[in-house]
């Protein structure tokens, strides 16, 4: 067994997942990491809880007329992470992601905080040099550093821009940042303030056929729909709008996907976890 496989443990399974990796192109991967969360931690508990509640929704998507029952996807379990050592955590995420990419898999990740997208996108970028990133988020996450750290959930997209270069990051739904982040975005990213559906056609036109990594921070959705998150930002979008946007993006060439920042300790009646399970189902079926 490859050593990367020792970095993963499987404690629970998403509904309808296959247990034959070799048959599956799509892989579901839990990343229970929240070490740089600054306000309210807890996203590490999302992968397990989302798997638990997945049984509360159908395998079949009425939006897409497709079902997980006829899709071969593998639930790889969660990466084992040494809390307190951020660098080692990020290295493991990158190693595991590359291991799957090396085998021709497409990785669908469940965070964890937003910093987990950094090693994932790094891995993807090696395979797709012309990768663009579509980010749905309430926050720009473009800080130079946060509380002294350059590797932070609040700085993750700045790192991504430094890696990919200018105008390769499309930021939708943003309704909170600092003045400095906004200035940086004006020069380096495609940031759309407080809009979602209105600009998706424009975004698609700009991206065209380039490979897309799609990262969905659940706080782009209003806390009413997704209370279970670390840094809720009022004035957001409905889950309905985001589910529709996900359909719109089917025509893009999405090669990787993650949903991050779901935080079960702050959830109510598991509605955020159940929404997360639905988002994952839609992503698995769509991309």
Residues 144-203 interacting with its own copies (rule: CB under 8 A): 147-149, 151-152, 174-179, 182, 193-194
| Stretch binding its own copies (CB under 8 A), from 60-68, 117-125, 158-166, 203-211 | 60-68
Cβ closest to its own copies, residue 1 vs residue 209: 1
Q: How far is the CB of 70 from its own copies (least distance, A)?
A: 9
Token pair recorded at residue 15: 């509904």
Q: How far is the CB of 54 from its own copies (least distance, A)?
A: 9
Cβ closest to its own copies, residue 89 vs residue 252: 89
Spatial separation of the C-alpha atoms in residues 229 and 112, rounded to whole Å: 10
Q: How far is the CB of 81 from its own copies (least distance, A)?
A: 7
Using the rule CB under 8 A, is 49 a contact of its own copies?
Answer: yes
Q: How far is the CB of 45 from its own copies (least distance, A)?
A: 7
CA 98 to chain centre: 16
Token pair recorded at residue 199: 């600009």
DSSP 217-275: EGGGB-TTT---BSS--SS-B-HHHHHHHHHHGGGSEEEEEEEE-B-GGG-STTHHHHH
In total, the chain counts a number of residues equal to: 287
| Stretch binding its own copies (CB under 8 A), from 31-39, 94-102, 120-128, 158-166 | 31-39
The helix or strand, by DSSP H or E, that contains position 88, with its residue range, turns out to be helix 86-102
- 164-203 burial: b if 16+ Cβ within 10 Å, else e: beeebbbbbbbbbbeeebeebbeebbbbbeeebeebbeeb
Using the rule CB under 8 A, is 22 a contact of its own copies?
Answer: no
Find the binder of its own copies among 4, 63, 64, 71 (CB under 8 A): 63
Contact set for its own copies, span 72-131 (CB under 8 A): 80-86, 88
For the CA atoms of 23, 285, 261, 188, what is the dihedral angle to 10 degrees? 100
| Stretch binding its own copies (CB under 8 A), from 23-31, 36-44, 96-104, 126-134 | 36-44
Token pair recorded at residue 281: 């189902």
Using the rule CB under 8 A, is 51 a contact of its own copies?
Answer: yes
Burial class from Cβ neighbours inside 10 Å (0-12, 13-18, 19+) for residue 22 reads: exposed
Cβ closest to its own copies, residue 72 vs residue 253: 72
Contact set for its own copies, span 213-272 (CB under 8 A): 222-225, 227-228, 231-236, 238-240, 243, 265-271
């Amino acid at each position: 067994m490859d050593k990367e496989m020792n970095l993963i443990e499987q404690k629970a399974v998403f509904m309808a997942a296959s247990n034959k990796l070799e048959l599956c192109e799509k892989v579901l991967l839990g990343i229970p990491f929240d070490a740089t969360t600054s306000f309210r931690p807890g996203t590490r508990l999302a992968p397990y809880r989302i798997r638990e509640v997945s049984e509360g929704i159908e395998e079949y998507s009425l939006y897409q007329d497709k079902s997980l029952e006829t899709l071969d996807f593998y639930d790889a379990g969660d990466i084992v992470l040494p809390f307190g050592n951020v660098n080692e955590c990020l290295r493991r995420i990158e190693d595991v992601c590359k291991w799957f990419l090396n085998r021709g898999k497409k990785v669908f990740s469940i965070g964890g905080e937003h910093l987990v997208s950094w090693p994932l996108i790094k891995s993807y970028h090696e395979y797709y040099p012309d990768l663009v990133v579509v980010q749905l988020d309430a926050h720009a996450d473009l800080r130079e550093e946060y509380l002294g750290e350059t590797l932070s959930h609040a700085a993750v997209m700045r790192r991504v821009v430094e890696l990919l270069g200018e105008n390769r990051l499309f930021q939708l739904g943003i309704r909170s940042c600092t003045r400095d982040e906004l200035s940086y975005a004006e020069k380096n990213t495609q940031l759309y303030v407080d809009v979602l559906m209105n600009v998706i056609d424009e975004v698609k036109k700009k991206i065209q056929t380039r490979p897309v990594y799609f990262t969905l921070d659940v706080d782009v959705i209003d806390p009413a729909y997704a209370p279970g998150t670390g840094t809720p930002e009022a004035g957001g979008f409905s889950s309905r709008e985001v589910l529709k946007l996900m359909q719109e993006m089917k025509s893009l060439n999405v090669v990787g996907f993650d949903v991050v920042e779901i935080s079960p300790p702050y959830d109510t009646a598991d509605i955020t976890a159940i929404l997360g399970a639905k988002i994952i189902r839609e992503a698995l079926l769509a991309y």
